[in-house]
Amino acid sequence: MKHLLKLLFLGVFLCSAGGFALIACGETTDCSLAGRPSPRFNFINDSTMKEKALDSLTVIALNTVQGDSVVLNKSAKVSSATLPLSYAGSKTVFVFKYPKKVNDTIWVTHTNTAHFLSMECGITMFHRIDSVKHTFHAIDSVAIINSGVGVNEKENIRVFY
């Protein structure tokens, strides 16, 4: 009987300790906190070199996995935008639609590098911007400011109007 009580006590202790360890060590991982590395585009007035707020800007990413995707829809007073790059390819094409039926296209060529986050979250893709080309309808010029794309909200591409 003495041994049975000791075994019962040991069993309760181990179960309690094991349950506590699971609660303390088994953190739930919020994969959304890692974010998706996307370049930040800042819009600049070419003559004043100050931010330019674009009115009713729509940006469409062409040829994505799901077809063409609207990534910004008629946003008002936009002076910057964070736009996702392709995971699958090395070139991402954005069409900038302005209110007066004028469109510009920006081609971003980039190198993708897979980065392991965790077993729960899997991988994310970091990018390095290699080159940027554009049309000249409303855009005057484009410059790469920071070629490394992370989740840090740093300016990567400057678009001059």
**Cα(8)–Cα(3) distance, integer angstroms:** 8
Looking at residue 27, its pLDDT comes to 53
Looking at residue 10, its pLDDT comes to 45
Is the pLDDT reported for residue 84 higher than 70?
A: yes
Residue 32, Cβ density class (10 Å: 0-12 exposed, 13-18 middle, ≥19 buried): exposed
- pLDDT tens digits, 98-136: 998 899 999 999 999 998 888 988 888 999 999 999 999
Q: How far apart are the first and last CA of the chain?
A: 87
Compare 28 and 81 and report the one with higher pLDDT: 81
Looking at residue 134, its pLDDT comes to 98
Compare 150 and 141 and report the one with higher pLDDT: 141
**Cα(31)–Cα(156) distance, integer angstroms:** 24
Q: At residue 31, what is the residue type?
A: C
- pLDDT tens digits, 14-70: 444 444 443 334 455 677 655 789 999 999 999 999 999 999 999 999 987 677 899
Average pLDDT over residues 75-96: 94
DSSP output for 71-110: EEEEESSBSEEE-PPPSS-SEEEEEEE-TTS-EEEEEEEE
Looking at residue 44, its pLDDT comes to 98
Looking at residue 4, its pLDDT comes to 42
Kindly provide the b/e burial profile for residues 112-126, where b requires at least 16 CB atoms within 10 angstroms of the residue's own CB.
beeeeeeeeeeebbb
**Cα(151)–Cα(64) distance, integer angstroms:** 21
Looking at residue 67, its pLDDT comes to 73
**Cα(69)–Cα(33) distance, integer angstroms:** 23
Looking at residue 28, its pLDDT comes to 53
